Amino acid sequence: RLRSVMAATPPPSAPGGPEPPPTPLQYSLLLQHLVGEKRQPRAWDPAALGGIPSPPKSEEQKMVERAMESCAFKAALACVGGFVLGGAFGVFTAGIDTNVGFDPKDPYRTPTAKEVLKDMGQRGISYAKNFAIVGAMFSCTECVVESYRGKSDWKNSVISGCITGGAIGFRAGLKAGVIGCGGFAAFSAAIDYYLR
């Protein structure tokens, strides 16, 4: 490159003589080296930009990543998370409910702490089971839909929300299934919108 530029540059004039006219800059040659055919591709190196270079992943790390990305692991994680969240929600709703420990045979009797705690535990377990089933169904359905479509976008959560809500509501009839499908799909779209 330097030789071609130096060859195009005329020799300097003698001291005290008239200055030769400057040679015009050839933008076409410059553009060929910057964006044209003669441009040299650069290897992207995070260390050159000040980042921490990451070593190549071992087979064990790849195997763990594949296991964590599997549908079974996602469904199990959603099931456990739903169980914990449902249990907490059930205990909370039982704690603020005034009918916990209420005996319909003797409405004026004050329930004991043992009866209240027993009812709170029963409600917490019931909510935990329901949340775990819904979480596992939604997560497994979303993973299957994502694998089938080959894309990760908002449509996956809407489709899986509709399938999950429809399956849960269908036990009460066709109308309840349609309402469940629409409700779960709208809720999934809203959650996905706010999370992304």
Q: Are 161 and 184 in contact (CB under 8 A)?
A: yes
Q: Please count the other Cβ atoms lying within 10 Å of the Cβ belonging to residue 138.
A: 22
User: Structurally, how many domains does the chain consist of?
Assistant: 2
pTM above 0.85, yes or no: no
Please enumerate in sequence order all residues whose Cβ is within 8 A of that of 1, keeping only pairs 6 or more positions apart, or say none: 33
Q: Is 132 among the domain residues?
A: yes
38 token code pair: 């003669």
Q: Is 36 among the domain residues?
A: no
Whether 75 and 146 share a structural domain: yes
Whether 146 and 190 share a structural domain: no
C-alpha closest to that of 34 among 43, 42, 23: 42
- Which residues span the domain enclosing 73? 64-101+109-151
Q: Tokens 């929300």, residue?
A: 161
Residue that wins the pLDDT comparison between 36 and 75: 75
Over the stretch 70-93, which tens digit does the pLDDT of each residue have? 888 988 999 999 999 999 999 888
